[in-house]
Structure 1
Amino acid sequence: MRITRRSAAALCVAAALAAVPLTATVLPSTAAGTDPVTVAARPAEGSTNVRADGRRIVLGDAAATTGSAEIRQRSGIANLDPVRFPAPTSAVVVDYTTGTPDRSTAEVDVRALVKDRWSEWTPAKAGTPTALPGASDLVQLRIIVSAPPQGGSPWVSDVRVQPTDQASPSAMTIQAAPLKSRVFATREGLVGGTTANGHVIVNRDHFVALPSRRGLANNGSGNYSVKVCTTAGTIRCAFEPVWDVGPWNTKDDYWNPSSIREMWKDLPQGRPQAQAAYQTGYNGGKDQFGRTVANPAGIDLADGTFWDALALSNNAWVDVTYLWTGDGGRGTVSISSGYLNVRSTPSSTGAIVGMAGKAAQVPVECQTTGQSVSGSQGTSNVWLRVHTGMYVAKAWISAGTFGAC
C-alpha cells in the first residue's frame, strides 16, 4: 500500500445551478490566511459506495461499474459537507492523507458556489493554490476512490481546506453563453449496469455520459446537465443530466479551455480526444488506456435519450451544449421518474420535439402563456421556451420568473 500526504488547491470552473446543502462547516476567522479547517469524514447527499471509518472515507464493497473489461473499476464517491468561509476567497488549499493499495487510486475534488451556481468539480493539485472562477465564500470537497474489480480498498482521511490569496488569476471565467460543440454520439445501453455516480440503468433511461468526472452530477441530480440536439432533418433536442463517465476516456474534459484541460492540452477546446485519435491518428489513434479508438465518440446517450428523445436509429453527430459552463436562466425538471415531453407549441397538443429527463436542467430563453397544465409545481398556464420552437410546461419545472417571449 502507498500512503501519501498531499497539500493542494482547487480550480473550480463554470457553473451549474444546484441547491446548497443546509449543513456547512464555518471557519471562525478571516478568509485568506486562516488556519486549515478539518472537514468531517461524513458522506453527504449524493455519495455512493463509500463508508466512514473514523477519520477515513473508504471504498465500499459494491461490484465494478459499467465499462469495458480494460477499465472496469470498483468506484466510490463521497461528497463532504460544504465549508463556508467568513469572507469570499479567490483560491483554496486542500490537505489530506490517502492510502492506495496496488493499482487503486484516491483523490479529492473541489468546487465553489459562484453566481449562485456550483462550479465544475476539479481535482485538487498537490501543493499548488489554484484560483476559483470567481470569489466565493462556500466550497465543497468530494472524494473519489477506485480500485480494480479484485483488490484492496483505497481511503482518504484527515481532509482539511484553507482559503488563500496566493494564486494566479483563474484561467476560466463563467461565459455569457455556455459552450456548444458538435460531437459524435453513441448509444450506451447497458441496462441493469451501474453508472459512475451509482445510478442503476433502467430500460429507456434518460442521462448522458461524458469522458470526465469534472461534470459528473450526483445520482438523482441534474446540476451538471447538457442540451443535445440533432443536426439533420427535423431538429430534436434532449435535456439530460450527466450521470456516467465515458466514452473511451475518463480524463478528457474537452469542453474546457486547453489551459485547464486535464489531459490532451494541445487539442482545441470542444474537440474530444477520441475524435482526434479516430480522425487524424492523434496519440497513435489510441485513447488514454492504449485502446485503438474505433469511433470518434465524445458523448454516450442512454437508450431513452437516443431512441425516444432524439429519435436516432444510428450513432450520429449532435450539437451538445454544456449548460454549467455559462450564465443564463435555468429551470430544473421536477418529476419523480421518466421524462418530460418538449413540445413545438405551448400546449400539450403540440408536436413532441424532444424530451427532458428527470432532474435535468433546462436553459430558459423566455416564458409565454399557453394551455393550463397541472404538475408537481402546481397548476399554471406558463410555458418556458428552452430552444427555438421548443417549450416545456412550467407546472413541471422548478424555476423563477422570466421575461416574456
Structure 2
Amino acid sequence: MRITRPTKLAACLVTALTLLTIGLPSSAAPQPVSNSTNVRYDGSRFVLGDAPAAIGSTEIRQRSGLAELTPVRFAAPTSAVVANYSTGTPDGSSAEVDVRAWVNDRWSEWTPATAGTPTALPGASDQVQLRIIVSAPPTGAQPWVADATVLPTDKVAPSGMSIQAAPLKSRVFATREGLVGGTTANGHVIVNRDHFVALPSRRGLASNGSGNYSVKVCTASRCAFEPVWDVGPWNTKDDYWNPSATREMWKDLPQGKPEAQAAYQDGYNGGKDQFGRTVANPAGIDLADGTFWDALALTNNAWVDATYLWTGDGGRGTVSITSGYLNIRNAASSTGAIVGMAGKSAQVTVECQTTGQSVTGSQGTSNVWLRVHPGMYVAKAWISAGTFGAC
C-alpha cells in the first residue's frame, strides 16, 4: 500500500496561517459533504464504497467514488491555496483531491491539488471547494483520503488558467453513449432517451443533478445544451478545451483538439489512447441518447460544434425543470418549430430577450423569451436567469 502524508512545507504553513479545516476531528461527525457518490466516511477517512464497477463510456471497468466537500470561505481573496491530506492507495487503486474557486460569479473548473503543494487558482477568490476522487479495480482495494484541509497562500506563480471573454468552441467528433441502466462517473443512472454529455476529463465533470459544467452542442440546424455528467470517450485526463500549457496530458497538442482525434487522424501517441488502446474513431464527446437522437436529430456519429460554457463569460441561465428536457423553438412561441433541446439543470447561453407567447413554468408566468442562439429561443418561465437586453 502507498500512503502519502503532508509535507514539511504544509506543516510550516499550518503554523504560519489560520488553518481552514474542511472536516471535523475523527471522533466527531463526518466531514461536511455537499455531494457524494459511492464514498463512505468511516469516522476518520473517506473510503471508496461497495458499489460495483460502473459501466462508463471509456469502457475502463473500475469502481469509483466522488465526494464534493462543503465550500470554505476565507477572510480575504487569495490567488492560491494549499490542500493538505493523506491517502491510502492499495493494490493499483488511486486517490486524488481537486480544488476549484468561485470566480466571476461561477465555479472555475476542477484542478488537481497535490498534498502540501501550492495550487494556483484561475483568479483571486475568497471561496474554494475540495473534491475527493477514489478509484480501484473491479474487486478488492479500498482507497481512502483523510485529514483534508485547505488554506490560502501567495507562494505560487500564476496558473496560466483564466476565464476567457468568450467560451472556447471547437469542432469535434460526437459519438452516442447509450448504456441505459449504467452509472456515469458522477453517479447518475442512465435512463432511456437521457440528456447529458461525456467529456474525457473530470476537470469539467458536474455533480449529479448539477449543470455548472455544461456544453452547447450544435449541428448546422439544431443545438443542444446539456450538463457534463460522464467521463469519456477514450481518455479520462484529456481536458482538450484548456490551453496546451495547462492540459493534464498531451501538452503538445493544440487547444481544442482531443487526443483521440490526433491519435486517429495523425497517429499521435502511436494511434493509442492513455490506456494503450488503439483509437477506433476520433471522438471528443459522447452524447446521451436523448441528446443524440432527439435534441440534435442525429442518425449516426457526426462532427459537431461544441462550446464549453464554463471556460468563458457571457449571459447565462439555468434550465429549471424536474426531469427530461426543455424544447428550443425557432420563434418566441410554443408553436414554433423545435430546433433543439436543453437538458435538466443545463446552463444555456443568453444573447438577449424578447416578448412572445405567455408561458407558465417553474419560474412563474412570463411572456419573455430568451434567445440562446441565432434563431433559437426558450421560454424564460422555465429558465432561472436575470434580465437581459432586448433583441
Distance 2:61 2:32 in 1: 24
Tell whether the 8 Å contact from 2:58 to 2:234 is kept in structure 1 after alignment: no
Give the secondary structure class of the aligned counterpart of 1:90: strand
Q: Which amino acid aligns with 1:39?
A: I
| Paired position in structure 2 for 1:172 | 161
Tell whether the 8 Å contact from 2:68 to 2:132 is kept in structure 1 after alignment: yes
Question: Cα distance, 1:257 vs. partner?
Answer: 0.5
Tell whether the 8 Å contact from 1:186 to 1:300 is kept in structure 2 after alignment: yes
Q: Deviations over 1:344-370 (max 9, x none)?
A: 000000010000000000011110000
Distance 2:271 2:16 in 1: 47
Taking a change above 3 Å as real, the CA distance of residues 90 and 7 of structure 1, as seen in their structure-2 partners, is farther
User: Of 41, 44, 47, which aligns to 1:55?
Assistant: 44
Q: Which amino acid aligns with 1:331?
A: G
> Sequence identity, in percent?
82
Give the secondary structure class of the aligned counterpart of 2:181: coil
Give the secondary structure class of the aligned counterpart of 1:259: helix
Given the alignment of the two structures, is residue 371 of structure 1 paired with residue 320 of structure 2, yes or no?
no
Distance 2:132 2:21 in 1: 14
| Paired position in structure 2 for 1:34 | 17
Give the secondary structure class of the aligned counterpart of 1:340: strand
Tell whether the 8 Å contact from 2:316 to 2:347 is kept in structure 1 after alignment: yes
Tell whether the 8 Å contact from 2:56 to 2:231 is kept in structure 1 after alignment: no
Q: Deviations over 1:99-153 (max 9, x none)?
A: 1111110000000000110000111134432321111000000000011111121
| Paired position in structure 2 for 1:64 | 53
Distance 1:178 1:110 in 2: 21
Give the count of matched residue pairs.
381
Tell whether the 8 Å contact from 1:32 to 1:165 is kept in structure 2 after alignment: no
Question: Cα distance, 1:166 vs. partner?
Answer: 1.0
| Paired position in structure 1 for 2:172 | 183
Given the alignment of the two structures, is residue 134 of structure 1 paired with residue 123 of structure 2, yes or no?
yes
Larger displacement relative to structure 2 (367-376 or 60-69): 60-69
Tell whether the 8 Å contact from 1:43 to 1:78 is kept in structure 2 after alignment: no
Distance 1:217 1:335 in 2: 17
Taking a change above 3 Å as real, the CA distance of residues 68 and 243 of structure 1, as seen in their structure-2 partners, is closer
Taking a change above 3 Å as real, the CA distance of residues 84 and 64 of structure 1, as seen in their structure-2 partners, is same
Larger displacement relative to structure 2 (59-68 or 381-390): 59-68
Tell whether the 8 Å contact from 1:8 to 1:125 is kept in structure 2 after alignment: no
Distance 1:3 1:292 in 2: 33
Distance 1:214 1:33 in 2: 31
Match runs of 1:309-388 below 5 Å: 309-388=295-374
Q: Which amino acid aligns with 1:35?
A: T
| Paired position in structure 1 for 2:215 | 226
| Paired position in structure 2 for 1:26 | none
Give the secondary structure class of the aligned counterpart of 1:214: helix
Taking a change above 3 Å as real, the CA distance of residues 6 and 249 of structure 1, as seen in their structure-2 partners, is farther
| Paired position in structure 2 for 1:25 | none
User: Of 212, 231, 255, which aligns to 2:201?
Assistant: 212
Larger displacement relative to structure 2 (126-135 or 379-388): 126-135
| Paired position in structure 1 for 2:3 | 3
Question: Cα distance, 1:339 vs. partner?
Answer: 0.3
Distance 1:245 1:174 in 2: 22
Given the alignment of the two structures, is residue 404 of structure 1 paired with residue 390 of structure 2, yes or no?
yes
Give the secondary structure class of the aligned counterpart of 1:125: coil
Taking a change above 3 Å as real, the CA distance of residues 58 and 168 of structure 1, as seen in their structure-2 partners, is same
Question: Cα distance, 1:6 vs. partner?
Answer: 4.4
TM-score under structure 1 length normalisation: 0.91
TM-score under structure 2 length normalisation: 0.95
Given the alignment of the two structures, is residue 260 of structure 1 paired with residue 241 of structure 2, yes or no?
no
Larger displacement relative to structure 2 (88-97 or 63-72): 63-72
Taking a change above 3 Å as real, the CA distance of residues 212 and 8 of structure 1, as seen in their structure-2 partners, is farther
Question: Cα distance, 1:45 vs. partner?
Answer: 3.0
Q: Deviations over 1:27-55 (max 9, x none)?
A: xxxx9952332211535233111111112
| Paired position in structure 1 for 2:236 | 250
Distance 2:265 2:374 in 1: 32
Tell whether the 8 Å contact from 1:97 to 1:159 is kept in structure 2 after alignment: yes
Tell whether the 8 Å contact from 1:210 to 1:298 is kept in structure 2 after alignment: yes
Tell whether the 8 Å contact from 1:33 to 1:163 is kept in structure 2 after alignment: no
| Paired position in structure 2 for 1:278 | 264
Unaligned runs of 5+ in 2: 24-29
Taking a change above 3 Å as real, the CA distance of residues 188 and 7 of structure 1, as seen in their structure-2 partners, is farther
| Paired position in structure 2 for 1:27 | none
Taking a change above 3 Å as real, the CA distance of residues 294 and 335 of structure 1, as seen in their structure-2 partners, is same
Give the secondary structure class of the aligned counterpart of 1:250: coil
Tell whether the 8 Å contact from 1:104 to 1:152 is kept in structure 2 after alignment: yes
Unaligned runs of 5+ in 1: 10-30
Taking a change above 3 Å as real, the CA distance of residues 33 and 329 of structure 1, as seen in their structure-2 partners, is farther
| Paired position in structure 2 for 1:147 | 136
Given the alignment of the two structures, is residue 99 of structure 1 paired with residue 85 of structure 2, yes or no?
no
Given the alignment of the two structures, is residue 82 of structure 1 paired with residue 65 of structure 2, yes or no?
no
Distance 2:198 2:15 in 1: 37
